[in-house]
């Protein structure tokens, strides 16, 4: 086949070849049929091979933060590719230098030095290695319902069903209840719970021995499992205090919640929390190219001045990906995207509250900025879920059918066994927000409300 003639294949041919020769994520492969063949995009919109425009109300995997094909990011990629595509990490490059400087500006104040790697999973893998090497300890406390990646170590650090296939995996990981106020594992209410889920971590530290625990690892806001946002403001600050009292590290995974997604640069900024280690990816380049990063505090950076960092990789500090990240960070600043995330998020939250009063299928609403979640229930009084197991990700029940329904009505939304996400690109306009919310309102009326015990 000629060099570019493969671009002329029909939609059906492309879908069939993708199914025949490539795997897709987290599902049995036989029944998969791609939603569409995407050939382009601009801002909050995607374009398929049949000429259909699709409003991307999920920013794909909550990652296309600057919008599809932002021209400044695309130009930065082209410019660096034309200059020089790759050199190994022994060499310095202009993009590597500038990205490190910019990350120091936008991350929490105590974060001073960075490992620039490949992805979110890779970043959390590096964070795990750094914490073990720095402390000489092997135990980690993470929460149930968390997701930290798909590598061997990050699968086990993960607290939901995607870790099961990899167990026993690495040793030393202890899971504790997540801050899921709507379905509290302790049966408590936010106004009287005294932040039990956070303080329980200190009990676990005592059981495991503080001298054995390297770190508590949490997400800035738990993302992939339903945007679990505590109804109190002292969750992360309490964990910071627990880490300090017990002499252990605090690792905050901001892979999904970072780079403006919650209306601030990072979710921890809402509570002025200073982690010892912070991880990021997704919005780092707006997902125009793969890239992750790990930021560490001064004390950790100093440690590796005289101790070998047993971590790295061929594509560490990749100059083209670094150039994309530089452009993305500047776009967030110059285009006012983080402020837009906050403003549009407040509008979305208000409209969702109106919908909740109208639709018996809406059980809970939670989120910040353009990082919001609608939890759907069969019965609002009993909080019965449409999924057989609301703690897993492999049983979506009726909610799984919403993917196709929303797509047919022109919007892309990511669903979960508990409900669906509202996480559009940070560049989205009020007009596009309202179009998507009107469509959601219609689907809830036409479809989901009919499933409930009204």
pLDDT tens by residue, 79-89: 999 999 999 99
Give the pLDDT confidence score for residue 393 in this predicted structure: 61
Residues of the chain with pLDDT under 50: none
**Number of domains observed in the structure of the chain:** 2
Same domain as 43, residue 149:
no
Same domain as 380, residue 244:
no
Question: Do you find a cis peptide bond into 168, omega within 30 degrees of 0?
Answer: yes
> Which residue shows structure tokens 């939670």?
366
Q: Which of the listed residues 301, 316, 334 is the one where a domain comes to its end? A: 334
Give the pLDDT confidence score for residue 214 in this predicted structure: 98
Same domain as 201, residue 123:
yes
* Mode of pairing for the β-strands spanning 292-297 and 53-56: unpaired
Give the pLDDT confidence score for residue 190 in this predicted structure: 87
- In the structure encoding, which two tokens stand for residue 279, read together? 């991880």
The answer to whether residue 214 sits within a structural domain is yes
Same domain as 235, residue 99:
yes
From residue 347, give the alpha-carbon distance in Å to each of 56, 150, 220, 275.
18, 34, 22, 30
The closest alpha carbon to 84, from 325, 291, 321, belongs to 321
Give the pLDDT confidence score for residue 389 in this predicted structure: 64
Provide the 10 A C-beta neighbour count for residue 323: 27
The closest alpha carbon to 138, from 152, 123, 128, belongs to 128
The answer to whether residue 19 sits within a structural domain is no
Same domain as 359, residue 262:
no
How many CA within 13 A on the CB side of residue 352? Answer: 24
Same domain as 76, residue 53:
no
Q: Compute CA 177 distance to the chain's CA centroid, rounded to the nearest angstrom.
A: 19
Same domain as 427, residue 289:
no
The answer to whether residue 110 sits within a structural domain is yes
- CATH classification at residue 395: 3.90.1150.10
- For residues 15 and 89, give the distance between their C-alpha atoms in angstroms, rounded to a whole number: 38
- In the structure encoding, which two tokens stand for residue 46, read together? 């995607």
The 3-state secondary structure of the chain, one letter per residue: CCCCHHHHCCHHHHHHHHHHHCCCCCCCCCCCCCCCCEEEEEECEEEECCCCEEEECCHHHHCCCCCECCHHHHHHHHHHHHHCCCCCCCCCCHHHHHHHHHHHHHCCCCEEEEEEECCHHHHHHHHHHHHHHHHCCCEEEEECCCCCCCCHHHHHHCCCHHHHHHCCCCCCEEEECCCCHHHCCCCCCCCCCCCHHHHHHHHHHHHHCHHHEEEEEEECCECCCCCECCCCCCHHHHHHHHHHHHCCEEEEECCCCCCCCCCCCCHHHHCCCCCCEEEECHHHCCCCCCCEEEEEEHHHHHHHHHCCCCCCCCCCCCHHHHHHHHHHHHHHHHCCHHHHHHHHHHHHHHHHHHHHHHCCCEEEEEEECCEEEEEEEEECCCCEECCCCCCCCCCCHHHHHHHHHHHHCCEECCEECCEEEECCCCCCCHHHHHHHHHHHHHHHHHCHHHHCCC
| Backbone angle region of 147, left / alpha / beta, with phi > 0 → left and psi within -120 to 50 → alpha | beta
Range of the domain at 292: 72-334
- For residues 323 and 382, give the distance between their C-alpha atoms in angstroms, rounded to a whole number: 51
Return all residues near 272 (Cβ < 8 A) that are at least 6 apart.
237
Q: Which of the listed residues 277, 304, 334 is the one where a domain comes to its end? A: 334
Same domain as 421, residue 446:
yes
pTM for the model stands at 0.96
pLDDT tens by residue, 103-142: 999 999 999 999 999 999 999 999 999 999 999 999 999 9
- For residues 384 and 276, give the distance between their C-alpha atoms in angstroms, rounded to a whole number: 39
The answer to whether residue 27 sits within a structural domain is no
Query: Cα(first)–Cα(last) distance of the chain, in Å?
Result: 58
The closest alpha carbon to 418, from 439, 436, 402, 433, belongs to 402
pLDDT tens by residue, 308-338: 999 999 999 999 999 999 999 999 999 999 9
Give the pLDDT confidence score for residue 392 in this predicted structure: 58
Angle at 404 between CA 403 and CA 405, to 5 degrees: 95
- CATH classification at residue 104: 3.40.640.10
- For residues 249 and 222, give the distance between their C-alpha atoms in angstroms, rounded to a whole number: 19
Q: Is-contact 3 375, C-beta < 8 A?
A: no
The answer to whether residue 234 sits within a structural domain is yes
- In the structure encoding, which two tokens stand for residue 60, read together? 């794909």
The answer to whether residue 359 sits within a structural domain is yes
Same domain as 261, residue 128:
yes
Same domain as 358, residue 321:
no
The answer to whether residue 114 sits within a structural domain is yes
The closest alpha carbon to 364, from 346, 343, 349, belongs to 349
Q: Is-contact 248 205, C-beta < 8 A?
A: yes
Q: Which of the listed residues 288, 314, 334 is the one where a domain comes to its end? A: 334
- For residues 429 and 185, give the distance between their C-alpha atoms in angstroms, rounded to a whole number: 38
Same domain as 254, residue 117:
yes
- For residues 229 and 365, give the distance between their C-alpha atoms in angstroms, rounded to a whole number: 10
The answer to whether residue 430 sits within a structural domain is yes
Same domain as 105, residue 84:
yes
């Amino acid at each position: 086949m000629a060099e570019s003639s493969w671009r002329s294949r029909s939609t059906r041919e492309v879908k069939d070849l993708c199914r025949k020769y490539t795997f897709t994520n987290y599902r049995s492969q036989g029944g998969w049929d791609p939603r569409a063949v995407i050939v382009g995009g601009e801002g909050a919109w995607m374009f398929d091979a049949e000429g259909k425009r699709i409003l991307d109300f999920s920013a794909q995997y909550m990652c296309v933060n600057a919008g599809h094909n932002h021209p400044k990011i695309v130009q930065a990629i082209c410019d660096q590719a034309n200059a020089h595509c790759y050199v190994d990490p022994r060499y310095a490059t202009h993009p590597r230098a500038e990205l490190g400087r910019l990350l120091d500006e936008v991350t929490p104040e105590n974060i001073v030095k960075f490992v620039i790697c490949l992805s979110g999973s890779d970043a959390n893998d590096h964070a795990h290695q750094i914490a073990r090497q720095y402390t000489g300890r092997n135990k980690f406390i993470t929460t149930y319902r968390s997701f930290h990646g798909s590598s061997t170590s990050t699968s086990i650090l993960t607290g939901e069903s995607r870790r099961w296939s990899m167990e026993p995996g690495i040793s030393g990981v202890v899971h504790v209840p997540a801050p899921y106020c709507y379905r509290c594992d302790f049966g408590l209410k936010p106004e009287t719970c005294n932040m039990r889920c956070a303080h329980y971590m200190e009990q676990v530290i005592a059981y495991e021995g503080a001298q054995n625990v390297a770190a508590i690892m949490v997400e800035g806001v738990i993302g992939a499992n339903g945007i679990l946002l505590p109804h109190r403001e002292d969750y992360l600050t309490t964990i910071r205090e627990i880490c300090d009292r017990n002499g252990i590290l605090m690792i905050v995974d901001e892979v999904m919640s970072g780079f403006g997604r919650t209306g601030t640069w990072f979710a921890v900024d809402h509570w002025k929390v200073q982690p010892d280690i912070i991880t990021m990816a997704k919005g780092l380049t707006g997902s125009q190219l793969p890239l992750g990063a790990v930021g560490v505090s001064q004390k950790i950076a100093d440690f590796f001045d005289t101790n070998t960092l047993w971590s790295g990789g061929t594509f560490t500090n990749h100059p083209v990906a670094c150039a994309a990240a530089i452009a993305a960070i500047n776009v967030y600043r110059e285009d006012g995207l983080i402020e837009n995330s906050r403003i549009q998020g407040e509008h979305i939250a208000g409209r969702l509250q109106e919908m909740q009063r109208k639709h018996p299928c809406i059980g809970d609403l939670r989120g910040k900025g353009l990082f919001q979640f609608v939890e759907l229930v069969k019965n609002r009084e009993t909080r019965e879920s449409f999924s057989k197991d609301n703690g897993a990700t492999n049983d979506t029940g009726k909610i799984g059918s919403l993917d196709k329904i929303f797509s047919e009505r022109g919007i892309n939304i990511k669903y979960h066994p508990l409900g669906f996400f509202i996480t559009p690109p940070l560049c989205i306009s009020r007009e596009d927000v309202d179009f998507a919310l009107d469509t959601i309102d219609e689907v809830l009326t036409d479809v989901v409300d009919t499933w409930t015990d009204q």
